[in-house]
Chain A
Amino acid sequence: MFKVTWRNLVARKIRLALSGFAIVLGVAFVAGSFIFTDALGGAFDGIVSGTTADVEILPEGAGQVDTFGTDARTIPASLVAELSQLTEAEMVVGTDQVQGVFVISKEGKLIGGNGPPGLAFNYNEMTAITGERILTLADGELPTTRTEVALDIDTAEKADYDIGDEVTLVTPGDPPTMKAELTGLVRFGSEGGLAGATLTIFDAQVIKDLFFGGKDVYTHVSLTAAEEVSQIQLRDAAQEVVPEGLDVVTGDEFAADQQDAIGEILGFINTFLLVFAAVALVVGTFLIINTFSILVAQRSRELALLRAMGASKKQVNRAVLSEALVVSLVGSTVGLGLGYLLAIGLKALFGVIGLDLGAADMPIQLRTILVSYAVGVIVTLIAAYLPARRASRISPVQAMRDDVALPEASLRWRFIIGAVMVAGGVALMGGGFAGSGGRGLLLIGIGMLAILIGVALMAPVLGRPIIHALGWAYRRLFGTVGNLATMNTLRNPRRTAATSSALMIGLTLVALMSILGQSAKVSTDKAIEESLTAELIVSNATGQFFSTAYGDQIRELDGVASVTTFRQATAKLGESQAYLQAVDPRSLGAALQLPVDSGSLRRFDAQSVLVSSTRAESSSLEVGDSVKLTFPAGPKAFTVAGVYPVGGAIAGDFLLSLEGLERAGIKPEDSLLFISKEPDASEAAVRSQIEDVLVDNPTVTLKNQKEFAEEQRGLINTVLYIIYALLGLAIIIAILGITNTLALSVIERTREVGLLRAVGVSRRQLRTMVRLESIAISVLGAVLGVVMGIAFGIAMQRAIADQGIDVLSIPWLLLGSFVVLAGLVGVLAAVLPARRAARLNVLEAITTE
């Protein structure tokens, strides 16, 4: 029996190669996700261990990386002198590290900045736990004055700066931008590069003057151990000297903590990517089932012959499954390779949004290999099981017949099972919306999947009217060729439906995202229009914080009535993250009208917070309650002064006062400025003054309400485009699936194609016929997908209406263009099969068995 399997594999290599495609792409997505996140993790791990010394001393709790908002606490410099006395320490170095220092390129563009940090510190000669110097001077000299800096080599190259050039920097301090001469280039120790982070080196005294008010303090102190001294011994020795309120951590421990925390964040990215991999695999499963069904159908005569010769049902079943196994192994191997390429593609994609991995390693870990093969093999075997079982049910007598038909489950049963799945899916989604958090999402996801599979099962029936409508148009436009194409689409409704379903799934998600995106945009527009009273807004498109100096300077300008500052941070509330916004309660009213559900804005002060309605509900908070938020510097209690509805201008869980946030130990750095002008001042005049203040900084920009709304739309678009790009893969698989089905159908109908050619159908007409069939399949998928997407979109929008997306907006034009695009996709998918059909030798085609 194995011999038969092997012969079949060799004899049908083209068909199997086609069926293997689906596996290849699905596995590639899984492998690519893992390789990419491993590369990401590796790069960050490299940065962490490359910058960590044997022992690190820092303010208590400041090692946390999963919060943002800059910790304002520092360490007195006198500690360095004390620690230097230790015989266990070979070197003791104090570092002043500042985040938010960005380099502006010669062309006035921000380098990095869309996520990876802009780091600045004083030069040091420390050795990291990797055994390498954290920094080495690669070229030129170290900066010594206030108007001199050094940059890391990569950043200087990207910004096109050479030694001696004048460098423009954006800083979180005062002045918010500065110019300095580039005196030298430093090389960062770790191999993987800086993951897009930029490095600016200041003189040790200059950095204190610029960012720490000239105080002799450090953000952290690093120690290297003397010969024969372990990290632990050094830590214990240092512990003796270090006062309360500071953490003393071994380098290994510090690096591990940081890497864990980063790993957790990267885990989200991995999960995010794997969701799309799962989508690709579900789509791929459809294709594998379809391909094997077609292959089995085409071979039913041969299988019947095997049965007639005495092969048992089990053996036939196993023969088909072993074919699937071999295909899956080959497919997984190729998929793994393609996954590597895909990871490079993801690297480029994430590079576009600023997460630049440079020359980072792309490791293929054993885990990646195992998962890839497991996914490839299991999915294929599951997918091939149904066709295999069907194959084994062929009765031996059928070998004698002319046209062997496989036993097919009736469409009615399929429809009923599909309907049950849809009902179950709706129930699951309902449960998901009622629940919350990860479990809720999971339920929604499974519910959607069940509905999609249910609809796919019903598609042969649901799709009929669509095909008939298309067929009517085809006959009108293309006459007999159109008729032939329509009849071909209808001759095997299961096959057509399964092929369309793959596209349907991809398009459902694309349509869903486009509806959510559009609703989010319209909701944001509405929130801005309804609640924003300030005329002008200063914001940073990259989401980075900016210097408070801007707000201070703008406040002094003529014609400016008020400037309302917003800041952001995160804190922990119990185990969960809480997103904080902060504003000066007195100037809040000048910027926007914030409605309150309960409580009052009048009670909002430095000791209190406002809480969003969703957070109030999920954390059971009411007006008057005390809420304890934990910052890097420690916990801080606030009174709940009011509850505001989500969906207005304020995003996030809590609104604090600026004073409250500063008292919690967060360094003042602004995220938004809302500016109201004097009623009689000219907007143009105020604008030009403010623009003068913001000069030299390409990312912090001035907008009016309309432009601000556009910027918000831009942010939503960026997210949408990334999701579209990732869903694109599922769609590519679906397109290949159409190609695959058509190619197999053309092979199957070789004799018929020959007959058509013999009676005078031209090559061109034949190509048109295949193309029209392809368009019918893809348009069917697109129509079903868009309809499903609209249904899901409406349901999702309703479900999250209380989280800020309170307006439903359906982008009809876009959805319509998806259907048109699907038609084009159909044309594309048909290229190869159509060519193959047209090129068939008429005589050979007629005489094939």
Chain B
Amino acid sequence: MFRSAAKPIPSKPIPSKPIPSGSYTATAPGGGVAARVFEVLKVYGEGDASVAALDGVSIDFAADAFTAVMGPSGSGKSTLMHCMAALDTVSSGQVFIGGVELAGLGDKQLTKLRRDKIGFVFQAYNLVPTLTAQENIELPLSIAGRKVDRQWFDTVIDTVGLRDRLGHRPNQLSGGQQQRVACARALVARPEVVFADEPTGNLDSAASAEVLAFLRSSVDDHRQTVIMVTHDPVAASYTDRVVFLADGKVVDELRNPTADDVLEEMKVLSARSVAGTAAGH
């Protein structure tokens, strides 16, 4: 069943009531909602060649929670991150960040939103090579002309354990250190939400653990909201909730997962998808 074209536009504050939908809707557990996507459709290309990277996705992301987004390659995880982080626009549907709807915002407002309300950690190439670690961390604040909150800065630095690396340039840092700097940068402006697209994808397990521990503690100790895409069940086990995507749709979710839970769920889902594909033929 599909909803009619008439949009039940939720206005601020985002209602915590789950929004009914034709497909599976992932709902945030209690509390406030930091980010919400509602019936989001993202289509690449046109006509026969068009691909629906997101095919009616509705998710509420709870504030002060660590959420993982998982799914097979090509399932639309990155697309979801980009659409939510104001880096890309949706074909239809709605995206809210901290009560602000992204649709209809111009480039200037989107830029400001990214600067002030969103933190982003990419898989790689997160840092400006000409700037030192400290300058990279302070970048979103300094381009906004905002004062750095020294106390918060110190807290972030100490949490990521970069105090003795602040004067180094990215090429003098290891991959793990670089990702930690990127995380620090994402957090230092106290954004509404931090998005991380496979932040540990290029790291070994020790470095991954450092980054993940840092993200976890930022949620627990500093009430940050973090949404992370990952392939790794171990990484997912650090989170409060895992949302599974497949073919641009939300297919399942787990709460307070262990690595084994996630692995199990992944197996189930992939078996289902193989069966689905077989049945389709």
A751 to B87, CA, bound (A): 14
**Stretch from A312-320, A526-534, A761-769 contacting the other chain:** A761-769
Give me 21 A-to-B residue pairs in the complex whose CB atoms sit less than 8 angstroms apart, sorted by A's number.
A480-B135, A480-B139, A480-B142, A484-B130, A490-B130, A751-B125, A755-B122, A755-B125, A756-B139, A757-B114, A758-B120, A758-B122, A759-B114, A759-B115, A760-B112, A760-B114, A760-B116, A762-B112, A763-B108, A763-B111, A846-B87
- Sorted from nearest, which 4 A-B pairs have the closest CB atoms? A760-B115, A487-B130, A480-B142, A760-B114
Q: Is B129 part of the binding interface, using a Cβ–Cβ cutoff of 8 Å?
A: yes
Q: Is B126 part of the binding interface, using a Cβ–Cβ cutoff of 8 Å?
A: yes
User: In this complex, what residue of B is CB-closest to A751?
Assistant: B125
Contact with A along B128-170 (1 / 0, CB 8 A): 1111000100111011110000000000000000000000000
Since A752-B128, A755-B127, A760-B111 are in contact, a sample of 4 more A-B pairs with Cβ atoms closer than 8 Å, ordered by chain A residue number, is A479-B142, A491-B129, A756-B128, A758-B114
**Contact A760–B140 (Cβ < 8 Å):** yes
Contact with B along A479-509 (1 / 0, CB 8 A): 1110110011011000000000000000000
**Chain B proximity of A847: nearest CB distance (Å):** 9
**Contact B111–A843 (Cβ < 8 Å):** no
User: In this complex, what residue of B is CB-closest to A760?
Assistant: B115
**Chain B proximity of A630: nearest CB distance (Å):** 70
**Chain A proximity of B249: nearest CB distance (Å):** 22
A639 to B126, CA, bound (A): 87
Q: Is B82 part of the binding interface, using a Cβ–Cβ cutoff of 8 Å?
A: yes
Q: What are the residues of chain B within 8 A of A765 when measuring CB–CB? A: 143
User: In this complex, what residue of A is CB-closest to B142?
Assistant: A480
**Contact B143–A488 (Cβ < 8 Å):** no
Q: What are the residues of chain A within 8 A of B171 when measuring CB–CB? A: 403
Q: Is B241 part of the binding interface, using a Cβ–Cβ cutoff of 8 Å?
A: no
Most-contacted residue by chain B among A479, A481, A760 (CB, 10 A): A760
Q: What are the residues of chain B within 8 A of A752 when measuring CB–CB? A: 125, 128-129
Q: Is A842 part of the binding interface, using a Cβ–Cβ cutoff of 8 Å?
A: yes
**Contact B111–A761 (Cβ < 8 Å):** yes
**Contact A487–B122 (Cβ < 8 Å):** no
Most-contacted residue by chain A among B111, B125, B138 (CB, 10 A): B111
Q: What are the residues of chain A within 8 A of B232 when measuring CB–CB? A: none
**Contact A843–B87 (Cβ < 8 Å):** yes
Q: Is B216 part of the binding interface, using a Cβ–Cβ cutoff of 8 Å?
A: no
* CB < 8 Å neighbour of B128 from A484, A490, A846: A484
Q: What are the residues of chain A within 8 A of B144 when measuring CB–CB? A: 760
**Contact B142–A759 (Cβ < 8 Å):** no
Q: Is B185 part of the binding interface, using a Cβ–Cβ cutoff of 8 Å?
A: yes
Q: A487-B130, A487-B131 are in contact. Are A759 and B120 (CB under 8 A)?
A: yes
Q: What are the residues of chain A within 8 A of B142 when measuring CB–CB? A: 479-480
**Contact B140–A488 (Cβ < 8 Å):** no
Q: Is B107 part of the binding interface, using a Cβ–Cβ cutoff of 8 Å?
A: yes
Q: Is B220 part of the binding interface, using a Cβ–Cβ cutoff of 8 Å?
A: no
**Contact B131–A483 (Cβ < 8 Å):** yes
Q: What are the residues of chain A within 8 A of B260 when measuring CB–CB? A: none
Q: What are the residues of chain B within 8 A of A490 when measuring CB–CB? A: 130
A765 to B115, CA, bound (A): 13
**Contact B130–A480 (Cβ < 8 Å):** no
Q: What are the residues of chain B within 8 A of A479 when measuring CB–CB? A: 142-143, 145
**Chain B proximity of A296: nearest CB distance (Å):** 20
Which size class do A's interface residues fall under? 20 to 34
Q: Is B88 part of the binding interface, using a Cβ–Cβ cutoff of 8 Å?
A: yes
**Contact A758–B145 (Cβ < 8 Å):** no
**Chain A proximity of B259: nearest CB distance (Å):** 29
**Contact A481–B131 (Cβ < 8 Å):** no
Interface residues of B in 171-205 (CB under 8 A from A): 171, 185
Q: What are the residues of chain A within 8 A of B112 when measuring CB–CB? A: 760, 762
**Chain B proximity of A450: nearest CB distance (Å):** 34
Contact with B along A352-371 (1 / 0, CB 8 A): 00000000000000000000
**Contact B131–A484 (Cβ < 8 Å):** yes
**Chain B proximity of A757: nearest CB distance (Å):** 7
Q: What are the residues of chain B within 8 A of A488 when measuring CB–CB? A: 130
Contact with B along A753-788 (1 / 0, CB 8 A): 001111111110100000000000000000000000
Interface residues of B in 249-279 (CB under 8 A from A): none
Q: What are the residues of chain A within 8 A of B131 when measuring CB–CB? A: 483-484, 487
**Contact A483–B135 (Cβ < 8 Å):** yes
**Chain A proximity of B53: nearest CB distance (Å):** 12
**Chain A proximity of B201: nearest CB distance (Å):** 14
A765 to B112, CA, bound (A): 12
A759 to B125, CA, bound (A): 13
Q: What are the residues of chain B within 8 A of A757 when measuring CB–CB? A: 111, 114
A141 to B142, CA, bound (A): 85
**Chain A proximity of B71: nearest CB distance (Å):** 18
A491 to B107, CA, bound (A): 29
**Contact A843–B82 (Cβ < 8 Å):** yes
Q: What are the residues of chain A within 8 A of B128 when measuring CB–CB? A: 484, 752, 755-756
Contact with B along A419-456 (1 / 0, CB 8 A): 00000000000000000000000000000000000000
A491 to B131, CA, bound (A): 10
**Chain B proximity of A748: nearest CB distance (Å):** 11
A809 to B143, CA, bound (A): 47
**Chain B proximity of A501: nearest CB distance (Å):** 22
Q: What are the residues of chain B within 8 A of A480 when measuring CB–CB? A: 135, 138-139, 142-143
Q: What are the residues of chain A within 8 A of B88 when measuring CB–CB? A: 843
* CB < 8 Å neighbour of A759 from B107, B108, B135, B140: B140
A483 to B145, CA, bound (A): 13
Most-contacted residue by chain B among A758, A762, A763, A846 (CB, 10 A): A758
**Contact A762–B108 (Cβ < 8 Å):** yes
A490 to B169, CA, bound (A): 14
* CB < 8 Å neighbour of B87 from A403, A491, A763, A842: A842
**Contact A760–B143 (Cβ < 8 Å):** yes
**Chain B proximity of A64: nearest CB distance (Å):** 68
**Chain B proximity of A242: nearest CB distance (Å):** 85
A762 to B107, CA, bound (A): 8
**Chain B proximity of A809: nearest CB distance (Å):** 44
Q: A480-B143, A481-B143, A483-B131 are in contact. Are A762 and B82 (CB under 8 A)?
A: no
User: In this complex, what residue of A is CB-closest to B114?
Assistant: A760
A684 to B171, CA, bound (A): 81
Interface residues of B in 41-64 (CB under 8 A from A): none
**Chain B proximity of A438: nearest CB distance (Å):** 50
Q: A763-B107, A763-B111, A846-B122 are in contact. Are A758 and B87 (CB under 8 A)?
A: yes
User: In this complex, what residue of B is CB-closest to A762?
Assistant: B111
Q: What are the residues of chain B within 8 A of A758 when measuring CB–CB? A: 85, 87, 114, 120, 122
A713 to B171, CA, bound (A): 59
**Chain B proximity of A839: nearest CB distance (Å):** 10
Q: What are the residues of chain B within 8 A of A755 when measuring CB–CB? A: 122, 125-128
Q: What are the residues of chain B within 8 A of A484 when measuring CB–CB? A: 128, 130-131
A487 to B136, CA, bound (A): 13
User: In this complex, what residue of A is CB-closest to B169?
Assistant: A487
**Chain A proximity of B173: nearest CB distance (Å):** 14
User: In this complex, what residue of A is CB-closest to B144?
Assistant: A760
Q: What are the residues of chain A within 8 A of B114 when measuring CB–CB? A: 757-760
User: In this complex, what residue of B is CB-closest to A487?
Assistant: B130
A763 to B145, CA, bound (A): 15
**Contact A759–B185 (Cβ < 8 Å):** yes
**Chain B proximity of A778: nearest CB distance (Å):** 20
Q: What are the residues of chain A within 8 A of B116 when measuring CB–CB? A: 760
**Chain A proximity of B153: nearest CB distance (Å):** 15
A757 to B112, CA, bound (A): 10
Q: What are the residues of chain A within 8 A of B185 when measuring CB–CB? A: 759
A185 to B111, CA, bound (A): 73
**Chain B proximity of A412: nearest CB distance (Å):** 22
A751 to B127, CA, bound (A): 10
A820 to B130, CA, bound (A): 27
**Chain A proximity of B63: nearest CB distance (Å):** 21
Q: What are the residues of chain B within 8 A of A756 when measuring CB–CB? A: 128, 139
A790 to B244, CA, bound (A): 71
**Chain A proximity of B217: nearest CB distance (Å):** 22
* CB < 8 Å neighbour of A761 from B122, B130, B143: B143
